[in-house]
Amino acid sequence: MKKALSLCLAILLLVFAVAACGGEKKPAENTKKKVALLLSGPANDQGWNATAVDGLNAIKEKFGLETTYQENVQVADMEAAFSDYANQGCYLIIGHGFQFGEPAAKVSANFPDQFFMATESSSKAKNMSSYVMSCEEGAYLMGTLAAMMTKTKVVGVVGGVEQPSITKEMEAFKLAAKTVNPEITVLSAYCNSFTDVTAGQSAATAMINQHADVLYHVANQAGTGVIKACEEKNLYCLGNSYDQSSIAPNVLLASTVYNLPNVIVYAYESILNNKFGDAIVPLGIKENVVDITFNEGLKSVIGEDNIATLNKMKEDIAKGTLDVPVIETPTK
């Protein structure tokens, strides 16, 4: 009997000892939150989508997140893509571009404990916000530069798909060129694609045939066709979203630059500070989100005076003394 009692006590002590040891050691947990990015084109387009991937990498490093992205998401598939990532438990899902706004807002209602974001969108919901870059500010500077550089007094701008986020850049470009010289002819066209390089090149060639000698694009990957058309004819062009001077270093004068890392970091910090959701947030030159960069190899072609003028305009936009209007309906 004593032996049985001693055995029972030994077993109980062993159980308590194991439990105590287990209490000192917390079970392994994967504390990394996951963020997903949806892109309308390829991630390596050296433009619009590439800068969003830069933003994704920025929050991965800054906040220790797990990240993933999906390329070439078509409009018809956007809701499904948001839902798929939400069902995988993604904490934040980002759609990069105007067309992702409505799908993000719609899907967000089904996942109230997760967060959804779109860039350049006019949509919002309780757990969904849009972060709108004031791209028109950069386009205004590009229109000014085009007017400074043209010899034929004909310049052009090629857009991707006709939508407010693209139209506002094209209209700012036109307005700026006409402000520099009211006699300038500004040609504009949409190539109805963000990925069709041939369509971008065809639209640019049509403008070149009408004597345009400086072209700008707002067409993502399709815009590389605009750059290619100018390179073939040895005419000046202007890049968009990213420093695109490496694509055509002998003819690309400057590019607008969109600092997506700052946008996405700003958005993620808003989540951490419980300030995210039901908002449309504009970010521009003042917030170090929109900028322009000159091709170092062609600065002498642009000229010191012109560069100084553009930098002064950039300062005035940041201070609010130069207002760039947002025009989202195409004009003639």
Report whether 162 contacts 190 (CB < 8 A).
yes
pLDDT tens-digit series, residues 158-197: 999 999 999 999 999 999 999 999 999 999 999 999 999 9
CA trace torsion 47, 53, 59, 65 (10° rounding): 180
Q: Which of 95, 65, 63, 59 is nearest to 79 (CA)?
A: 95
The CA–CA distances, whole Å, from 7 to 1, 3, 12, 20, 21 equal 10, 6, 9, 20, 21
pTM: 0.82
Alpha carbons 221 and 156: distance in angstroms, whole number: 18
For 174, the token pair is 């036109």
pLDDT tens-digit series, residues 87-126: 999 999 999 999 999 999 999 999 999 999 999 999 999 9
Fold of the 34-133+260-283 domain: Rossmann fold (3.40.50)
Report whether 184 contacts 178 (CB < 8 A).
yes
**Concatenated DSSP letters for 102-120?**
HHHHHHHTT-TTSEEEEES
Q: Which of 207, 130, 173 is nearest to 292 (CA)?
A: 173
The CA–CA distances, whole Å, from 143 to 4, 147, 172 equal 94, 6, 7
The residue behind tokens 């300030």 is 275
Under CATH, which number does the domain 135-257+295-319 receive?
A: 3.40.50.2300
Alpha carbons 4 and 20: distance in angstroms, whole number: 24
Sign of the dihedral through C-alpha 64, 70, 71, 75 = negative
Quote the pLDDT of residue 212: 98
Cβ atoms within 10 Å of 200's Cβ, excluding its own: 29
Where in the chain are the domains? 34-133+260-283, 135-257+295-319
pLDDT surpassing 70 at residue 19: no
Alpha carbons 246 and 74: distance in angstroms, whole number: 28
- pLDDT band, residue 16 (cuts 50/70/90): very low
